[in-house]
Amino acid sequence: MTTTRFAPSPTGYIHVGNLRTALFNYLIARKSGGTFILRLDDTDPERSKQEYADAIMEDLEWLGLTWDRVEKQSDRLDRYHAAADELRDKGRFYEAFETPTELDLKRKKQLNMGKPPVYDRSALALSEDEKTALRAERGDGVWRFKLDHERIEWTDGILGDISIDAASVSDPVLIRADGQFLYTLASVCDDVDFGITDVVRGSDHVTNTATQIQIIQALNGTVPAFAHHSLLTGPQGEALSKRLGTLSLRDLRAQGVEPMALLSLMARLGSSQPVELRASLDEIVEGFDLNSFGAAPTKFDVNDLFPLTAHVNAARAYADVAERIRALGVPEDQAERFWTVARENITTLDDLEGWWVLCRDGAEPLIAEEDAEMIATAMPLLPEPPYDDATWKTWTDAVKEATGRKGKGLFMPLRKAVTGMERGPDMSNLMPLLQKVRAKG
Ligand code: GLU
């Protein structure tokens, strides 16, 4: 039985970067009829906030990425204590007392000597007396996991065969000097206890995975299948990390981006399969293939979301937007027609308002000099509203007769005079919605 998890820290909002992680784990679970767990990595009491936890859930719900259960790391501190004891008993855990400045100095020295900046394990050589003295002088130390210096290997679901020399990695700190459990230990305990079978996360976690595999093994747990997706960059390949703040799901939602547009893009971006707009999450689940994703950084352009959003809206049923249209003040008997006319001509639903204002108040006419005379002839031929399905035909026939104009030379100036735009809805359909034509004066 497949069990996956999405494990955000509730220290901020979800953005397009971590949405991929959420989505891939969700899709893997749903594709196999398995379980998808939302895990809140909230062991840092200062940075974790309930409001962010709530926002994460709200954003996932907006997208329809439903979880089967929520787990909070802050509820599981006893378990992490027990795991720490177990690692201590097994001789895989040691206390170290270096200050950050000392560690920094060591790293610089190593780098100067052309060596990788790996923790030198001096703490392992400390006697009990030395430790007691250090503890008295500096307070409690940090707790590091003692890696076995061998190669750590796994077949990554995206990156393929990975082999990391454990000696090239520092023994990870699992408990801070103030006693706070760090993500690595908590995550390992959770993955083991919750029976996580598949972990997909960003490629910035590859080294963590290597150390976590050894910790899982030290705790006699089953190592899940790992896959690391590439990180997103901007359209020119520039780092996105600084801009992610403005690419939160709530910002995108506020800009009118539609969930299916975002999901359809994210389920394919960076894969060998083309981006195709899907009508439902079920369709996305069906077409998802983790193996089709590549290791190269994935370019993301927020602007790609808008044409997809326009397509989602164009295909949308009236019932889905009826309330919103009524809220604009569109009369009940015109609401459905208004939607049929407007939906092909909007990007986001926010654009509906502009179309309604045009119908209600009329538009500033756009009249080219060479058409001024023709429009002057045409406008008196247009009766006062209300209009009906026949109005456009009757009117344009009359204008044709009166001016001798035809085809584009007839229709375009009239469209521009009535709507103030060169493009827009089919005019026969639009006319019955117009409550005012300002060009009539
Ligand atoms: N809270 C971690 C993060 O957001 C989870 C990483 C993981 O998936 O293990 O980076």
Would you say domain 362-440 falls under CATH 1.10.10? yes
Q: Is 415 exposed, middle or buried (0-12, 13-18, 19+ CB in 10 A)?
A: buried
Does residue 371 carry a pLDDT above 80? yes
CA 322–ligand 1 middle distance (angstroms): 40
CA distance 432 to 211: 68
The whole-number pLDDT of residue 10 equals 97
Residue 62 structure tokens: 């907006």
The ligand 1 atom at the shortest distance from the C-alpha of residue 204 is 10
Closest CA to 35 of 195, 148, 216: 195
Distance CA 242, CA 244 (A): 6
Instruction: For residues 346-360, give the mean pLDDT.
Output: 97
Contact 248, 15 (CB under 8 A): yes
Give the Cα separation of 17 and 356 in Å (integer).
Answer: 36
Three-class SS state of 334: helix
Q: Which residue has the tokens 């003692």?
A: 146
* Model pLDDT for residues 97-144, shown as the tens digit of each residue: 999 999 999 999 999 999 999 999 999 999 999 999 999 999 999 999
Closest Cα to atom 10, ligand 1: which residue?
8
- Residue 441 pLDDT more than 90? no
Say yes or no: CB of residue 343 within 6 Å of ligand 1: no
Ligand 1, residues 9, 212, 231: which to mutate, most atoms within 8 A of Cβ? 9
Q: What is the mean pLDDT of the chain?
A: 96
Name the residue with the closest Cα to ligand 1, atom 4: 8
Residue nearest to atom 6 of ligand 1 (CA): 7
Check if the beta carbon of residue 243 is closer than 8 Å to that of residue 310.
Answer: no
Q: What is the pLDDT of residues 179-217, one digit of tens each?
A: 999 999 999 999 999 999 999 999 999 999 999 999 999
Q: What is the pLDDT of residue 296?
A: 94
pLDDT number for residue 91: 97
Query: Residue 377 C-alpha to ligand 1 middle, in angstroms?
Result: 69
Q: Mutate which of 4, 6, 203, 205 to test ligand 1's pocket (most atoms within 8 Å of Cβ)? A: 205
pLDDT at 389: 96
CA distance 122 to 118: 11
Angstrom distance (rounded) from CA 420 to CA 341: 16
Q: What is the mean pLDDT of residues 366-380?
A: 97
End-to-end C-alpha distance for the chain, whole angstroms:
71
Tell me, using a 6 A CB cutoff, whether residue 141 lines ligand 1: no
pLDDT of residue 241: 75
How far away, in angstroms, is 237 Cα from ligand 1 center?
24
Backbone angles phi, psi at 380, to 5 degrees: -65, -20
Write out pLDDT tens, residues 244-296.
767 999 999 999 999 999 999 999 999 999 999 999 999 999 999 999 999 99
The CB of 8 under 6 Å from ligand 1? The reply is: yes
| Structure confidence at residue 73 (pLDDT) | 98
Q: How confident is the model at residue 239 (pLDDT cuts 50, 70, 90)?
A: confident
Q: Among all chains, which residue has been given the structure tokens 């926010």?
A: 350
CB 7 less than 6 A from any atom of ligand 1: yes
User: Would you kindly state where each structural domain of the chain is located, as residue ranges?
Assistant: 362-440
Long-range Cβ contacts of 124-129 (<8 Å, 24+ apart): 124/94, 126/97
pLDDT bucket at 32, cuts 50 / 70 / 90: very high
What pLDDT score was predicted for residue 227? 98
For position 240, what pLDDT does the model report? Answer: 82
State both tokens at 11: 């220290």
pLDDT at 58 exceeding the cut of 90? yes
Which pLDDT does position 78 carry in this prediction?
98
> Which of 18, 23, 41, 191 has the most ligand 1 atoms within 8 A of CB, as the residue to mutate?
41
What is the percent of the chain with per-residue pLDDT over 70, rounded to a whole number? 100
In this structure, are residues 249 and 37 in contact, taking their beta carbons and an 8 Å threshold?
no
Q: Which residue has the tokens 């990554």?
A: 156
Whether the pTM exceeds 0.75: the reply is yes
Where residue 68 falls among pLDDT bands split at 50, 70, 90? Answer: very high
> What pLDDT, on a 0 to 100 scale, did the predictor assign at position 340?
96
Q: Which parts of 287-390 fold into alpha helices (H)? A: 305-314, 318-327, 332-342, 352-361, 372-378
Task: Write out pLDDT tens, residues 397-419.
Answer: 999 999 999 999 999 999 999 99
In this prediction, residue 306 carries a pLDDT of 98
